[in-house]
């Protein structure tokens, strides 16, 4: 299929992008890596009149430390998650998740901001922003703000972004010496969207878990933090019994959707297996 005809504008600055968007109204879309948008255009699932290319806006690029955070520019490509030393050091969970995101050709173009804005519940990075306690920096016609990842993902492909707003960066709290992380997913083929996936970040004193954030993807309409499950783990070490309790608690946190290939009960089972294996590994690293 071929996309319907559209106009194209390449913005050089954030102001230009916001301005073009304001003038064109809802018939315009920002385009970053295009790895989600272009397929949607080709399938005619979306047919905007205007594409505003944001990839030449330098303010949206770059990774740097800012206070207690790593500021990751919206245009940071998936492949840079693998190659950028600051990410490996201060946001190792993103570094660990990146190889599971699609294939090299897609990672070369797809952007962090695009992935978070698109908010596919099967995507790795949006779920990782939850596990990391990240904050999304947004700019729009009425100014800028920062939204906690916990408040960002609203429903299926629906986020706190208002029409015409742009993600400029994601702020990730710097990884600390007393923290451990784990990432894994179950996908039929390498690079596929997972049947179920999970990322976690724990802060501990010795073997005791002081705090843990666990986030799943491919389990519902949004990336999902499993707070009930987290609660079963806080204050104790990761022994077999605790892990089993956490696995049992998942049922209260997840309500997987009906799907013809992966029935809800199966997805819940897979989430339990994955959680058990990841907590086991996290425990071994204590």
Partner 1 sequence: MSAPLTSLDRPNSYIGRSVPRPNAKRLLAGRGRYVSDLRLPRMLHAAFLRSPHAHAKIISIDVAQARALEGVHLVAIGADLAKICTPWTGTLDHFKGMTSAPQLPLPLDRVVWAGQAVVAVVAESRAIAEDALELIEIDYEDLPVVADIDSAREAGGPLINPGSGNNVCFRSQLDNGSVDDAFAHAAHVVEEEFCFGRHTAVTLEPRAIVAEYDPAAGALTVHHATQTPYQFQDLYSRHYGIPEARVRVIATDIGGSFGMKLHVYHEDMAVVGLSILLGRPVKYVADRMESFVSDIHARDHRVRARMALDAEGEILAMDVLDLTAIGAFSTYPRTSVVEGNQVIRLMGAPYRFKNYRATLEVIFQNKVQTSQYRAVGHPIACAVTERLVDMAAVKLGLDPLAIRAQNLIADDAYPQTSPTGYRFEALSHQACLKRLHEIMDYDALRAEQAELRKSGVYHGIGIAAFVEITNPSPAFYGVGGARISSQDGAILSLTPSGEVRCLISVTEQGQGTEAIISQIVADQLGLAQEHVKVITGDTEVTPHGGATWACRGAGIGGETALQAARALRRNILEIAALILQEQPSALDIIDGEVVDAGTRNQRMPISEIARIAYFRSDTLPPGTQAQLTVSHHFAPQGYPFAFTNGIQGCSLEVDVETGFIKMLKHFIVEDCGRVINPMLVDEQLRGGIVQGLGAALFEECRYSETGQLVNGSLADYLVPMPMEMPDIVIAHVETPTADTELGAKGCGEAGTAAASACVLNAVNDALTPFNATINSIPITPAKVLKALKRF
Which helix (H) or strand (E) is 66 found in, with range?
A: strand 63-66
94 contacts 111 by C-beta, under 8 angstroms: no
At residue 257's C-alpha, the angle toward residues 159 and 152, to 5°, is 15
Please identify which residue in 20, 35, 95, 282 interacts with ligand FAD, judged by CB under 6 A. 35
Q: Between 1 and 177, whose beta carbon lies closer to partner 1?
A: 1
Asked whether the beta carbons of 102 and 78 are under 8 A apart, the reply is yes
86 forms part of the interface with partner 1 (CB under 8 A): no
104 in contact with partner 1 (CB under 8 A): no
Q: Which residue number, 231 or 273, has a Cβ lying nearer to partner 1?
A: 273
Q: How many CA atoms lie within 13 A of 210 on its CB side?
A: 7
Partner touching 280 among partner 1, ligand FAD, none, CB below 5 to 8 Å by kind? none
* CB crowding 247-278: b at 16 or more within 10 Å, else e: bebbeebbebeeeeebeeeebbbbbbebbbeb
Considering the rule CB under 8 A, would residue 284 count as an interface residue with partner 1?
Answer: no
Phi, then psi, of 211 in degrees rounded to 5: -150, 145
Residues in the interface with ligand FAD (CB under 6 A) total 29
Q: Does residue 156 belong to the site contacting partner 1 (CB under 8 A)?
A: no
Instruction: State which of residues 17, 32, 91, 254 lies at the interface with ligand FAD (CB under 6 A).
Output: 32
Residue 36 binding: pick among ligand FAD, partner 1, none (C-beta 5-8 Å cut-off by kind): ligand FAD
Give yes or no for residue 106 binding ligand FAD (CB under 6 A): yes
Applying CB under 8 A, among 136, 195, 198, 275 the residue interacting with partner 1 is 195
Query: Measured over all CA atoms, what is the biggest interatomic distance in the chain, rounded to whole angstroms?
Result: 60
Locate all alpha helices (DSSP H) within 103-154, ordered by sequence: 104-107, 112-118, 124-132, 149-152
Footprint of ligand FAD (CB under 6 A): 29-37, 39, 54, 74, 101-102, 106, 110-111, 113-115, 117-118, 120, 123-125, 166-167, 193
Footprint of partner 1 (CB under 8 A): 1-5, 43-44, 186, 188-193, 195, 260-263, 265-266, 268-270, 273
């Amino acid at each position: 299929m071929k996309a319907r005809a559209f106009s194209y504008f390449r913005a050089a600055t954030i102001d230009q992008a916001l301005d073009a968007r304001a003038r064109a109204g809802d018939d315009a879309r920002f385009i970053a890596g295009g790895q989600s948008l272009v397929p949607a255009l080709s399938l005619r699932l979306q047919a905007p009149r205007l594409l505003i290319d944001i990839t030449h806006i330098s303010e949206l690029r770059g990774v740097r430390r800012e206070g207690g955070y790593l500021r990751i520019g919206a245009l940071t490509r998936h492949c840079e998650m693998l190659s950028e030393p600051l990410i490996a050091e201060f946001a190792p969970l993103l570094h660990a998740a990146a190889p599971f995101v699609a294939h090299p050709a897609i990672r070369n173009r797809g952007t962090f901001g695009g992935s978070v804005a698109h908010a596919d519940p099967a995507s790795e990075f949006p779920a990782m922003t939850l596990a990391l306690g990240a904050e999304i920096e947004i700019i729009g016609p009425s100014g800028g703000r920062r939204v906690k990842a916990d408040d960002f993902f609203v429903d299926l492909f629906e986020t706190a972004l208002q029409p015409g707003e742009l993600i400029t960066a994601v702020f990730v709290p710097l990884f600390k010496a007393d923290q451990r992380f784990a990432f894994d997913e179950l996908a039929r083929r390498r690079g596929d969207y997972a049947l179920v996936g999970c990322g976690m970040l724990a802060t501990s004193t010795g073997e005791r878990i002081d705090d843990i954030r666990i986030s799943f993807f491919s389990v519902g309409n949004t990336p999902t933090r499993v707070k009930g499950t987290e609660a079963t783990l806080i204050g104790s070490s990761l022994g077999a019994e605790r892990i089993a309790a956490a696995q049992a608690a998942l049922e209260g946190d997840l309500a997987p959707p009906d799907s013809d290939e992966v029935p809800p009960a199966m997805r819940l089972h897979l989430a339990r297996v994955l959680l058990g294996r990841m907590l086991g590994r996290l425990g071994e690293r204590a």
